[in-house]
Amino acid sequence: MNSSRRYKFLLFLTGMILFLSGCKTSRLGNTVALFEMGKEERIKTIHYQATPFNTLSSSLRFSIKPGLKQNTTTANAQLRIIKDQIIQLSLRLPIIGTEIARISVTPEQVIILDRTNRRYVSETMQSIKEKTSSGFDFDFFSLQALFTNQLFIAGKSSITPEDYKSFKWKEDKFLVKLNKTDNQGINYDFTSDYTNRIIQTEMYKNKTDANLNWLYKDFGLTSSNRLFPMKMTMELTVPDDLVTLNLTFNNVDIDTDFELDTTIPDRFQPMEMEQIIKLIQSF
């Protein structure tokens, strides 16, 4: 798999395998000045502004443009997360709501069900990391943090106050930027404004090769009366191409009881991940 295909493969993962279906720097305009804080107080405040949850669920609308020369596709879905256990996306037909695909991500595994064609993909996280070895070394907990607007350190299930000093920190009058570089030289930049909420997470090793932005906006109340970004935009820029995914959430429910099924139905035929990607690109 060449470099460009590896980076596109990454986006399929970070976008929940792009819901079955590198990044230009966004302009973050802000006219409200920051309150003055020291480094650790600032990071603590950003850390604890995130919405706490044991479960999170929401219907959503998403649109995807898988390349500069590709058309935009839109669809409805249901996102459910059980903290530290599973992220599951159900892709549904408009109006009638029939499930046509399901993506489940756990700390150990990714399962994709193509109900229309009665096929499935099952990959371990380890095999996925091997296929993206020259890109971002993503894991379940990083993906969970991105979908829930959280500060994170790649490879860790959570961060603690002891981790605060490991971030580089700088701020101007309006914006705060935290930076963390992992042991593979990949940078994670978190940008916050006067609300002390993360409004952008950017990931890159060499921006000329690939650059992934995850942008958060239109914060609204969840069922627990905490603010959550009701719109997210993911952009991946690779040489000569740009992939964009937009999510619009509805009625984000926190800590409702539900169970999630990851079984593969009988008579479904296995597919390779690369076959899924080719199928999606053909759309």
Domain segments of the chain as ranges: 3-276
Whole-model pTM: value is: 0.85
Residue whose C-alpha is closest to residue 103's, from 83, 74, 133, 123:
123
What per-residue string of b and e applies to 245-256 under the rule 16 or more CB within 10 Å gives b? bbbbbeebbbee
Residue 163 in tokens: 């981790």
Would you place residue 9 in the very low, low, confident or very high pLDDT band (cuts 50, 70, 90)? Answer: very low
pLDDT-above-90 percentage for the chain: 58
Would you place residue 91 in the very low, low, confident or very high pLDDT band (cuts 50, 70, 90)? Answer: confident
Whole-angstrom CA distances from 177 to 14, 151, 204 are: 22, 12, 15
Instruction: Give the pLDDT confidence score for residue 243 in this predicted structure.
Output: 85
Instruction: Give the pLDDT confidence score for residue 15 in this predicted structure.
Output: 46
Distance CA 145, CA 79 (A): 14
Per residue in 214-240, pLDDT (tens digit) is 999 999 999 999 999 999 999 988 888
Which residues does 36 contact at the CB level (< 8 Å), separation at least 6? Answer: none
Instruction: Give the pLDDT confidence score for residue 18 in this predicted structure.
Output: 36
Residue 230 in tokens: 């009701």
| Fold held by 3-276 | outer membrane lipoprotein receptor (LolB), chain A (2.50.20)
- Provide mean pLDDT across the span 74-83: 92
Specify which residues 25 forms β-bridges with.
none
Tracing tokens 């756990």 back to the chain, one arrives at 106
135 and 6 in contact (C-beta within 8 Å)? yes
Residue 37 in tokens: 């804080």
- Provide mean pLDDT across the span 46-63: 95
Distance CA 137, CA 204 (A): 11
Instruction: Give the pLDDT confidence score for residue 202 in this predicted structure.
Output: 95
Q: Say which residue, 84 or 245, is predicted with more confidence.
A: 84
DSSP secondary structure of 22-38: --PPPP----SPPPP--
